[in-house]
Amino acid sequence: MGAPDGDCLGPYRLLSPLGAGGFGEVHLALDPEGHTVAVKILHPHVAADEVALTRLAREVEAMRRVQGPYVAELIEASLQSERPYLATRYVQGRPLSAVVSGDGPVGGEVLVRLARGLAEALAAVHAAGVIHRDLKPGNVILTDGEPVLIDFGIACLLDSATVTTSGAVLGTPGYLAPEILEGGETGPEADVFSLAATLAFAATGRHPYGTGPASAIGYRVVHHEPDLDGVPPWLEPLLRECLVPDPAARPPAAALPARLAAVAPVGRVAGSEGSATVPSSASSAGSAGSAAPVGPGVFASPPPPPAPPRPRPPFSSWRGGRPREDRESRRSREDRESGVHGLTTREWRPGRRGRSRLDASLPESAREHRRAVIHRRWVIGTGLLVALAAAAAKSPLPEVSLLLLTVYGAVMIIDGGVALFARQNRPRLVVDLAGAGGSVALWAVLGAFFSPLTLGLALGTVVFVLVVILLSS
């Protein structure tokens, strides 16, 4: 179906598609004041189904009852138009699943902010009488290090009957609570289980119940203990309590923010790489609060209060009873955010400054892992290119062939030596030496089995593809 870019839907001008799900297609759009929103357009075959419209009406009502700084709130909905849609706050950033897959596990200050933000988001969801039912890393967006919970597409009201449709996805394996897998009642305790599984994935980089077929993962959820190896000591006991099979034994979502505030590290984060600090009003107060004795010679500082909520994004008008913001204060905030007067749309793209701010808040271990991955890919890519070029020049220009191999080998040896003696980085030295040796071996194999003409054509094709990639990026 797909609405074309520049098309208007109600008061919104569609800019570009963001994704699609079982019920509709999500577009980045501009509201009448020029602010970005996310517009979800119902699929035509779903819009023609009265049962699906009833389900959407329940979804809209649920989303209107959920508000908070860590959830993507509903702005407006239109169910009677030719193309039914709903508009929510647009969240710029990357999904938690992509952050962990690309940069490794999160830790230190980032993990503390993630845990506190998701706990407050789930508390707000349950306070509104809603069950999210699909809390997972893909439905958590990190924006400037702060989490935002999105996609209430399968949320249902606590005080309404469960609505089911054929083909509807009811959850994600590994993050569904065991009582759901066993066919029991779905309550808010299931979201607490999903929250703990999501935090375990963020802290370790692994799914807490492994991977594989959905049936195998479901069996491990019901019968096995979660894999929490690598979760920081301050967080592991709470996650184990939230992942118990008995729903009644799990803590309620309303208690999670206070529980995390009591156990989350303040100042230098224990077990993290570097010296990440946790922003808190208690840290600026110094020693104003008195310490409570907990044993002979041992004192425990009072838990810090929860972090203040982030201000809401500058919408010109909030439907459903939300106040209109002052124009001058909104304009000054936009100027601070964008640095250009009048620029209101800043869609996130890979490689822009939004990603660098997030990477800067990652632990040093995650950044070092990312640098190692980039270096390994660079060595492999350049080694393949040099071996191919040297093999192509082996017969007509043997001097050039040997020169290429010699220069590449010298560069690899120098880089490995610098890494070894300057930073004591032995793995990098191994990668460099393996790259140099592998390029020589590949040069010998290619030169023995392929003609110079074939190798030249292959080299030209590779260079052409690289140039196209560089120009397109």
**Tens digit of each residue's pLDDT (9 = 90 or more) over 329-351:** 444 444 444 443 333 444 444 44
Residue 6 has pLDDT above 60, yes or no: yes
Residue 175 per-residue DSSP state: T
Shared domain check, 224 and 75: no
**Is 142 in the same domain as 29?**
no
Residues 115 and 211 in one domain: yes
CA distance 14 to 5: 6
Q: Which residues 6+ apart lie within 8 Å of 266 measured at CB? A: 278, 280, 282, 283, 301, 304
Which is more confident, 94 or 340?
94
Q: What is the predicted pLDDT for the residue at 324? A: 38
pLDDT, position 70: 92
> Per residue in 411-427, pLDDT tens?
888 887 877 776 656 77
| 40 assigned to a ligand binding site | yes
Residue 81 forms part of a structural domain: yes
Of 1-10, 135-144, 365-374, 431-440, minimum mean pLDDT range: 1-10
What pLDDT is recorded for position 129?
82
Note whether 141 and 174 are within 8 A (CB): no
Within 10 A of 416 (CB to CB), how many other CB atoms are there?
22
**Using CA atoms, how far apart are residues 384 and 391, in angstroms rounded to an integer?**
11
- Decide if 432 contacts 375 (C-beta within 8 A): no
**Torsion, CA 424, CA 427, CA 428, CA 432, rounded to 10:** 130
Cα 91 to Cα 15, 34, 146: the distances in Å are: 15, 15, 11
Residues 165 and 22 sit within 8 Å (Cβ to Cβ): no
Q: Does one domain contain both 153 and 179?
A: yes
Residue 47 and residue 109 in one domain: no
Q: Which of 68, 90, 112 corresponds to the end of one domain?
A: 90
At residue 191 the predicted structure's pLDDT band, cuts being 50, 70 and 90, is: very high
Is 333 within a domain? Answer: no
Given 360, 392, 413, which residue is the final one in a domain? 360
Q: Is 291 helix (H, G, I), strand (E, B) or coil?
A: coil
Lowest mean pLDDT of 3-17, 55-69, 275-289, 356-370, name the range: 275-289
Mean pLDDT computed over every residue of the chain: 75
Q: 59 or 271: which carries more pLDDT confidence?
A: 59
Residue 435, CA atoms < 13 Å, CB-side half-sphere:
29
**What is the pLDDT at residue 51?**
74
Model pLDDT, residue 114: 95
Nearest Cα residue to 93 out of 114, 122, 68: 114
Identify whether 84 is part of a domain: yes
- Please count the structural domains in the chain: 3
pLDDT given for residue 352 in this prediction = 41
Same domain, 10 and 55: yes
Helix (H, G, I), strand (E, B) or coil at 253: helix
| Comparison of pLDDT for 325 and 244, the residue scoring more | 244
Q: Is the pLDDT at 461 greater than 70, yes or no?
A: yes
Stretch 10-18: mean pLDDT: 90
Q: Which candidate, 108, 102, 473, 77, places its Cα nearest to that of 265? A: 108
One domain, residues 34 and 175: no
Q: Out of 239-248, 359-368, 448-457, give the one with best mean pLDDT.
A: 239-248
pLDDT of residue 314: 40
The last residue of a domain, from among 360, 383, 413: 360
pLDDT band at 152 (very low <50, low <70, confident <90, very high): low
Interatomic CA distance for residues 156 and 161, integer angstroms: 8
In a domain, 124, yes or no: yes
Report the pLDDT value the prediction gives residue 280, as an integer from 0 to 100. Answer: 37
The phi and psi torsions of 195 (rounded to 5 degrees) equal: -60, -45
> 18 — phi, psi (to 5°)?
-105, -25
pLDDT for the residue 155: 55
Q: What is the CATH number of the domain that holds 142?
A: 1.10.510.10
For residues 204 and 440, the model is more confident at 204
Q: Is 426 exposed, middle or buried (0-12, 13-18, 19+ CB in 10 A)?
A: exposed
Q: For residues 445 and 301, which has the higher predicted lDDT (pLDDT)? A: 445
**Beta-sheet strand order (sheet of 140-143):** 94-95, 140-143, 146-149
Calpha distance 13→446 (Å, rounded): 55
- Considering the domain architecture, whether residues 79 and 197 belong to the same structural domain is answered as no
Q: Does residue 79 contact residue 53 with C-beta atoms inside 8 Å? A: yes
DSSP H or E stretch at residue 178:
helix 178-181
Locus of tokens 């935090």: 199
Residues 225 and 109 in one domain: yes
**43, part of any domain:** yes
**DSSP letter string, 348-384:** --TTSHHHHHHHHTS-HHHHHHHHHHHHHHHHHHHHH
d(CA 339, CA 360): 20
Indicate whether 155 belongs to any domain: yes
Q: Which residues are tagged catalytic? A: 134
Q: Is 53 found in the same domain as 163? A: no
Query: Taking a C-beta distance cutoff of 8 angstroms, is the pair 23, 8 a contact?
Result: no
Neighbours of 163 (CB within 10 A): 17
Supply the pLDDT for residue 234. Answer: 95
Is pLDDT above 80 for 354?
Answer: no
Q: Is the pLDDT of residue 260 over 90?
A: yes
pLDDT in tens, 265-291: 875 443 334 333 333 333 333 333 333
In 3D space, the residue among 446, 444, 432, 442 whose CA is nearest the CA of residue 379 turns out to be 432
pLDDT at residue 356 is higher than 60 = no
Tokens of 220: 């491990």
366 inside domain = no
* DSSP strand pairing (85-89 vs 130-131): unpaired
Helix or strand holding residue 336 (H, E): helix 327-338
Query: In which residue are the tokens 């140039």 written?
Result: 467
Look up residue 134 and give its DSSP letter: -
* Co-location of 39 and 106 in the same domain: no
Same domain, 7 and 139: no
Which residue range forms the structural domain that includes residue 399?
Answer: 372-472
Q: Is residue 393 assigned to a domain?
A: yes
CATH at 25 = 3.30.200.20
Give the pLDDT score at 336.
43
Taking alpha carbons only, the member of 228, 211, 204 closest to residue 173 is 211
For the stretch 129-144, pLDDT in tens is: 888 888 999 889 998 8
Query: Is the model's pLDDT at 80 over the cut of 80?
Result: no
Express each pLDDT in 285-325 by its tens digit: 333 333 333 333 333 444 445 555 444 444 333 333 333 34
Minimum mean pLDDT among 99-108, 156-165, 281-290, 324-333: which range? 281-290
Q: Are strands 24-30 and 146-149 parallel, antiparallel or unpaired?
A: unpaired
Higher pLDDT, 351 or 87: 87
Q: Which residue has the higher pLDDT, 87 or 43?
A: 87
